[in-house]
Amino acid sequence: MTNHSNSNVLSETKKKSTDEIFQEISEILVRSVAHNKEITMESSITGDFGADSLDQIELVMELEKQFGCTISDEETGKIKTVGDIVGLITRLSNEEPS
């Protein structure tokens, strides 16, 4: 059985600009780790927001849910800044479903 909901979410994500993706990620960050802090593309997930490893896992789970994608452990380990997340989500949303 094919899961159409994930492909629909990714299709919708493909239509979004980098600014729109950044905005959605910012909203997730405010709820999870950033709270009332300023969010920029250069913001460090651990340095600026004080996220620990559990926070990062929860953040990745929320991103996967929001954008209908799967983020590997390897990709998770490369996430250091908000810009890294935006780039990753943009790349994943442009990949063809297998």
Supply the residues annotated as catalytic.
52
Three-state secondary-structure class, residue 26: helix
Partners of residue 81 on adjacent β-strands: 44
The CA distance from 4 to 43, in Å, is 34
Partners of residue 44 on adjacent β-strands: 81
